[in-house]
């Protein structure tokens, strides 16, 4: 077996007995039954993931995966392609939205170059795991070779394993890659059968002509690669991205190591949906951070069977949604593990 | 003028020029325009409230106001009335949901007795500002005297002033009081014209018979006090609660001192809606934490012109929704004040 196959083989469905034990524990805590709403559901699942009624969530980490996209040659993005590398440099200097949100939430942040077009020079703290210098233009050929795809998947798997080994008990992930809403939209259409018209939005903000080019490029790519789009791996290789592959691997790695993992926006969720397609049991380890305004996002969330925790109209990526949702998961776990019981606190139950 | 009138007179509408200045600043930050969604709207309003493009939100405080309700004599709650005092003791020992959530969010917590039935003995840290030993049964007489109401309003005003003087830059509030969804439902019906059938829910979980008793009690109270329910103060005095009065004062005090203030659930929002009825400009200082499953809550949120930040199916009160929303507001302010600009970071704009 290769690394991907070994990782998938290590993933066990979360245990319904732990969910039931957690539900019983919730009833003993000093609050009306189910009055913490979704916080209870979150904590119960964390208990099941970790296999304990004393789960922790105080070592959170977000990993941001960056890569470039050959499909930018089709004029699908509102921003020039060099912005990918410029934003990676911004992350490493601490000036991006994800830096501010990770600091606010006291979340450790790692930044990985999975295939930015031109390697960044002189940047401390960057994890360089370049599978190639960006993807190829998938309107003309598969976005990556099978070997490149497995390198990128392995990067995500490795980073999840590393986080687990270093004691992280709650993970999140995000991405940067100019052009990657085009790749994620193509993945969404191929994976869910959603029409291109309804799966494709404006990403970072293309105008009407840009949107038409984006839809056209995806239609052509789906036609070109139709024979290969019958499996998650075929979809990922033909119309995905290196950072999408790495995030897919990260989801699977987190599940294999029994660590709860929070998705981010549309592109991150496309990676999570590929992971769930490869291994349905991985869904039990995933929490959906939020629902962005990208039209394909709701369909992907349905595909992974998750209700988003937040609805804040965000559409930035970078792990910004994950950073906010990690705070919610931590609160859920804190309530579950720190609250007094009716008996212990001398509070009358009904 | 009395304290309430002086407080209302000190409240100025937030300045649209600061909102515009903040919107311009958002466009310079290294992200696509409006891509942080509601986080941008939150930060812009915080900038306008504080009158600066460098607002802070790192000294948050939640104040929980507790009081008892004479209407419990009508059998409107699933829990015995002594639970109010028992839960206050639980807060002071750190064992309730709000304690866990405040700790998780590093939020300072204050607990105020505005009128628990029997005074708590031997509890360190309790702020005792008892306006009376709980309200009267409002099915038979006004819930409180005018003097008691003004004492409780003044308690909230004072605690907001104290928080502002101590450097708090973000406030939240919550409540505890067995029977107080009945009072909040009566306030909602009187204030918004919503029918009792649609304004009244199960609170902490009354059964069908309890729900019928609750609705019946509110119908009788609204009929008994009809002539007095034409103003916010009349509604508050006749069918409100001491903690509702204190929270109403807290909203007004926060607005007078130009501190953003986060509401909590249904009961807290009934207090905020009374404050906005007394002083419409106070709405600009309010952020709605979440929308609970209590049926009257949506109507109250519309009355104060706020979209809730969270939808997590919570219905606990105590400030638990405020604690989660404070984290969102802090993240919004962090992004606004800490992000690099396109020019400063050397990132290409569109």
Chain A to chain B Cβ contacts (< 8 Å): 191
B207 shares contact with chain A (CB less than 8 Å): no
| pLDDT of B349 | 87
Are B70 and B183 contacting, i.e. CB atoms less than 8 angstroms apart? Answer: no
Burial status of residue B238 (CB atoms within 10 A of its CB: 0-12, 13-18, 19 or more): buried
**What is the C-alpha to C-alpha distance for residues B54 and A209, in angstroms, rounded to an integer?**
38
DSSP element (H, E) containing B255 = helix B242-256
**What is the C-alpha to C-alpha distance for residues B93 and B217, in angstroms, rounded to an integer?**
34
Contact yes or no for B79 and A350 at CB 8 A = yes
Q: pLDDT by residue (tens digit) across B135-162?
A: 999 999 999 999 999 999 999 999 999 9
B105 shares contact with chain A (CB less than 8 Å): yes
B102 interaction partners in chain A (CB closer than 8 Å): none
| pLDDT of A202 | 86
Contact yes or no for A95 and B30 at CB 8 A = yes
ipTM above 0.95, yes or no: yes
**What is the C-alpha to C-alpha distance for residues B273 and B302, in angstroms, rounded to an integer?**
9
Is B262 a residue whose pLDDT tops 90? yes
Angle (CA) B107-B111-B115 rounded to 5° is 155
Q: pLDDT by residue (tens digit) across A226-240?
A: 999 999 999 999 999
Mean pLDDT value of segment B264-285: 98
Select the residue from A41, A104, A342 to test the B interface by mutation, using most B Cβ atoms within 10 A: A104
Mean pLDDT of chain B: 96
Å between B107 CA and nearest CA of chain A: 12
| pLDDT of A184 | 97
| pLDDT of B164 | 98
B327 shares contact with chain A (CB less than 8 Å): yes
Q: Give the DSSP letter string of B168-230.
A: --EEEEEEE-TTHHHHHHHHHHHHH---HHHH---TTT--HHHHHHHHHHHHHHHHHTGGGTT
Positions of chain A with pLDDT under 70: none
Distance of CA B166 to the CA centre of its chain: 20
| pLDDT of B202 | 86
B224 shares contact with chain A (CB less than 8 Å): no
Active site residue A318: yes
Contact yes or no for B314 and A39 at CB 8 A = yes
Q: pLDDT by residue (tens digit) across B50-107?
A: 999 999 999 999 999 999 999 999 999 989 999 999 999 999 999 999 999 999 999 9
What lies within 8 Å, CB to CB, of B41 at 6+ separation is none
Chain A, 300 to 319: residues with Cβ < 8 Å from chain B are: 309-316
Contact yes or no for A313 and B37 at CB 8 A = yes
**What is the C-alpha to C-alpha distance for residues A20 and A308, in angstroms, rounded to an integer?**
22
Q: How many H-runs (helices) and E-runs (strands) does chain B carry?
A: 15, 6
| pLDDT of B203 | 81
Out of A31, A100, A335, name the one closest to residue B335 (CB): A100
Å between B59 CA and nearest CA of chain A: 13
Using CA coordinates, name the residue in chain B closest to A339.
B95
Contact yes or no for B340 and A316 at CB 8 A = no
The angle that helices A320-338 and B320-338 make with each other, rounded to 10 degrees, is 150
Q: pLDDT by residue (tens digit) across A118-156?
A: 999 877 899 999 999 999 999 999 999 999 999 999 999
Q: Among residues B41, B148, B194, B318, which one is catalytic? A: B318
Q: pLDDT by residue (tens digit) across A289-313?
A: 999 888 899 999 999 999 999 999 9
A349 interaction partners in chain B (CB closer than 8 Å): 79
| pLDDT of A201 | 86
| pLDDT of A204 | 80
| pLDDT of A149 | 98
Is B122 a residue whose pLDDT tops 90? no
Å between A63 CA and nearest CA of chain B: 18
| pLDDT of B294 | 87
Is B221 a residue whose pLDDT tops 80? yes
Is B124 a residue whose pLDDT tops 90? no
**What is the C-alpha to C-alpha distance for residues A101 and A9, in angstroms, rounded to an integer?**
35
Contact yes or no for A32 and B204 at CB 8 A = yes
Mean pLDDT value of segment B269-285: 98
A33 interaction partners in chain B (CB closer than 8 Å): 205
3-state secondary structure of A132: coil
**What is the C-alpha to C-alpha distance for residues B300 and B312, in angstroms, rounded to an integer?**
18
Mean pLDDT value of segment B317-344: 98
Chain A, 242 to 301: residues with Cβ < 8 Å from chain B are: 293
Select the residue from A26, A27, A37, A102 to test the B interface by mutation, using most B Cβ atoms within 10 A: A37
| Model confidence, pTM | 0.97
Mean pLDDT of chain A: 96
What lies within 8 Å, CB to CB, of B290 at 6+ separation is B264, B265, B308, B309, B310, B311, B312, B314, B321, B324, B325
């Amino acid at each position: 077996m290769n690394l991907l196959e070994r990782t998938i083989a290590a993933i066990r469905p979360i245990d319904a007995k732990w969910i039931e034990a957690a539900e019983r524990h919730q009833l003993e805590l000093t609050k009306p039954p189910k009055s913490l709403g979704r916080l209870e559901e979150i904590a119960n699942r964390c208990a099941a993931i970790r296999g304990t009624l004393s789960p922790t969530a105080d070592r959170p980490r977000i990993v941001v995966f960056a890569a470039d996209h050959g499909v930018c040659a089709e004029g699908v993005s509102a921003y020039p392609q060099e912005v990918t590398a410029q934003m990676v440099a911004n992350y490493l200097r601490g000036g991006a939205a994800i830096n501010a949100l990770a600091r606010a939430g006291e979340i450790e942040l790692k930044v990985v170059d999975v295939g930015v077009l031109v390697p960044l020079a002189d940047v401390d703290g960057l994890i360089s795991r370049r599978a190639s210098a960006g993807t190829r233009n998938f309107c003309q050929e598969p976005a990556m070779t099978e070997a490149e795809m497995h390198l990128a998947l392995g990067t995500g798997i490795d980073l999840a394993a590393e986080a687990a080994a270093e004691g992280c008990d709650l993970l999140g992930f995000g991405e940067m890659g100019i052009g990657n809403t085009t790749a994620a939209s193509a993945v969404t259409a191929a994976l869910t059968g959603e029409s291109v018209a309804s799966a494709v939005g404006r990403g970072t903000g293309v105008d009407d002509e840009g949107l038409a080019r984006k839809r056209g490029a995806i239609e052509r790519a789906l036609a070109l690669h139709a024979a290969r789009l019958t499996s998650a791996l075929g979809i990922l290789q033909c119309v995905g991205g290196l950072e999408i592959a790495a995030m897919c691997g990260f989801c699977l790695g987190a599940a294999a190591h029994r660590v709860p993992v929070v998705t981010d926006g549309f592109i991150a969720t496309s990676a999570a949906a590929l992971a769930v397609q490869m291994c349905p049991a991985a869904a039990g380890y995933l929490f959906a951070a939020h629902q962005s305004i990208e039209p394909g996002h709701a369909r992907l969330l349905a595909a992974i069977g998750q209700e988003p925790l937040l609805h804040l109209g965000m559409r930035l990526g970078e792990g910004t949604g994950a950073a906010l949702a990690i705070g919610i998961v931590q609160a859920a776990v804190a309530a579950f593990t720190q609250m007094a019981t009716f008996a212990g606190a001398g509070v009358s139950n009904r």
